[in-house]
Structure 1
Amino acid sequence: MIQTLVATLMWALVASLLVFRRKRADRSVTYAAIAIAIAMTLNVDAIYTAIDPLLGETNIATLVADALLMTGLFFLGRGVMHTGHYRPQLVRVAVSLPILLVSLAAITVAFFFIDHGETTTRFMADLGDQLATAVYSIINFVYCGVVIATMMVLATRQHRSSTGIQRLPAALLTLGSAFGVALCLAVIVMDIAHVTGQLDLMYAVQPAYGPLSLLTFGFLCAGFTAQPVVRLAQHHARRRRTAALAAGLEPVWERATRVRPGLSQAEPLAAQADDPDGRLHRKIVEIRDAMIDGRVTFTISDDERALLQAAERHLLGEQDTETEPGRGGDDDTAQADEECPA
């Protein structure tokens, strides 16, 4: 049941990323979501028992699923790293391709030392008392834990450096990563307890596995889904504010172009209907030109000057709290293309 819920969450994330991130140049997060979704789907009992016989009925499907999970986390870590400027050497090493390849090679070698038996949906429960199985699982979850811990560091830093609604995706990713680290530690403890015969300890930790899995993937999926949604909301909010500022400057701009005709006479602003920032910039430039042209007489009031300055700050992406006509600045947003964590 847990694996089915996790797989459903991952495919929902894939669908949302394909909708909201289809125009992004960096597709690391999308590749990661697809790989992890396939891995989680392979772990669903009904699908596992259908796939593994096709691979020889020796639980090879477990190795395939775990390799996909590690590869997905690699792309996930890369995606988070690429969204910020904080990339210390340790972070770059943790999510580097050589570390992934070495880890994949290590679990593959360890896997073939395991007495696989026949297809079982309880791989670790049935075979976890073997040393090779414990080594296999520990390598897998040490790698996953290191990558997730790296993501947590990056998301935490991004949360501190962000403001307003931009902090939400980072907060969700930080929580998901924290639960993920706890999940990896719990699995490693269970592996060690199982292979050393400390079954009481294993049974004591085991109940945490399901909730930690749901919390990890739930918060990570929410965080990565929130990123493009927040950007889209900011983009629309910025366009609305741009339109409001342009409308507020309209009377000033009309007076300015009457005394000093500008480029708008040759290229009407209506031609820029699909570029609200360009329209607003044109108005600002023509108003400023009229203000500094000594050949014409053109003055503006203090309120109009404040509105003009607010429009200039808006185009520069600066926060402003005073100047949108008829309202405060709570809806002001950062530039539409600014990235949240990953």
Structure 2
Amino acid sequence: MWLLVLALLVLRRGRVERTITWAAVTIAISMTLNIDAVYLALDAAAGGSNVVTLVADLALMTGVFLLGRGVMKAADHPPRAVRIALSRVVFGAAVFSASIAFFLIERGATTTNFMLDLGQQPAAAVYSMIHFTYYAVVLGAMAVVASEQVRVSHGILALPPALLVAGCGFGISLTIDIIVMDLAHLAGNTGLMSTAAVFYGPLYLLTFLLLCSGFAGQPFARAVRTRRRERTTRELAARLAPVWQAASDVHPGISRNAEAVFDADDPETLLHRQVVEIRDAMIDTRVAFAVRGADLQSLEDAERHLVGESATPATSTRVRQ
């Protein structure tokens, strides 16, 4: 989780939206608090009553809430059910209910096996089930949003949301498994509890691996696509350079005007200016200028590239007019 935090700080630097990064930080803090040596030291300082369990669990709940909110912000029009599931009201209700249940538990001395040692208490079972029911609700809402992102994304950009969908699926399975263990422990059915415990480790690992990969993969995928687009833009600009020069000779455009605002160092700006000035020369009846063969194909490729890879023939035609 701390590696994910580092990756997000590097890959998302300069971005105003920090919800996902803060989510990763709070979840990393929660997991750090659950390291036995850290937990024992902090809980001893807090009076040895397992109160650090509540701090760690609420940090995880906050992180999951922020993750859900971050994913929802990426959607244009999330369904009403998703907005409700990821609302502050539902989060606040879950935090309040879990806190009340926690203080009803007879917690005894510090233990690093909180639910194993105390899970036979109804309050402890309710405490755990409140947390994991909330996680399942948030993960379900995230899966809905991420599924829509998979549908509308193309190429490498579809991989991160697909990983999120898979991670949410395993996460929901993990919450169901834990709730089964809670109920089995409460009922004294150790056989069922042991059977469910077999699935806990793999589900936990797959959930965090896939969710971390999905969130870290989003800025990485965008960076890769940006670099690919810039490379393609430069290649197209180089292919059009001779045609642009010929067009400018017979029909000078603003690129020849020293007072015009024109940033030739920006590949997108340069390619757009090339296309515009070549087309201007082609349609101006006062000059004789035509583009044919491979040069015309390069021009059309540049037009399609500027309007996006998914541009339709009709869209490309409108751009050329």
Is 1:212 the counterpart of 2:203? The answer is yes
Residue in 1 aligned with 2:47? 56
Q: State the one-letter code of the partner of 1:180.
A: G
8 Å CA contact 1:86, 1:154 repeated in 2: no
Is 1:241 the counterpart of 2:251? The answer is no
In the alignment, structure 1 segments of 5+ residues that lack a partner are 1-9, 322-342
TM-aligned CA distance change 1:267 to 1:74, over 3 Å: farther
Deviations 1:249-299 (A, max 9, x none): 111100011011111112499972441100111111111111122221111
Aligned partner of 2:28 among 37, 55, 63: 37
8 Å CA contact 1:159, 1:171 repeated in 2: yes
Residue in 1 aligned with 2:116? 125
TM-aligned CA distance change 1:68 to 1:159, over 3 Å: same
Identify the structure with bigger relative contact order (alpha carbons < 8 Å, sequence gap 6+).
1
Aligned partner of 2:222 among 214, 231, 244: 231
In the aligned structure 1, how far is the partner of 2:132 from the partner of 2:77? 25
Aligned partner of 1:193 among 166, 184, 187: 184
Shift of 1:25: 2.4
C-alpha RMSD of matched pairs (Å): 1.8
The worse-fitting range, judged by mean Cα deviation, of 290-299 and 153-162 is: 153-162
8 Å CA contact 1:110, 1:135 repeated in 2: yes
TM-aligned CA distance change 1:199 to 1:122, over 3 Å: same
Deviations 1:279-338 (A, max 9, x none): 1111111111111222211111143222212211111113489xxxxxxxxxxxxxxxxx
* Structure 1 runs of 4+ with >3 Å offset: 267-271
8 Å CA contact 2:84, 2:90 repeated in 1: yes
In the aligned structure 1, how far is the partner of 2:224 from the partner of 2:261? 25
TM-aligned CA distance change 1:159 to 1:99, over 3 Å: same
8 Å CA contact 1:259, 1:290 repeated in 2: yes
In the alignment, structure 2 segments of 5+ residues that lack a partner are 313-321
Aligned partner of 1:162 among 153, 158, 169: 153
Is 1:102 the counterpart of 2:115? The answer is no
Q: What TM-score does the superposition give when structure 2 sets the normalisation length?
A: 0.93
Residue in 1 aligned with 2:284? 293
Q: State the one-letter code of the partner of 2:306.
A: L
Taking only the aligned residue pairs, the percentage that are identical comes to 50
Deviations 1:201-234 (A, max 9, x none): 1111112111111110011111111111111110
TM-aligned CA distance change 1:269 to 1:287, over 3 Å: farther
Is 1:176 the counterpart of 2:167? The answer is yes
In the aligned structure 2, how far is the partner of 1:267 from the partner of 1:15? 45
- The count of residues paired between Structure 1 and Structure 2 equals 312
Q: What TM-score does the superposition give when structure 1 sets the normalisation length?
A: 0.88
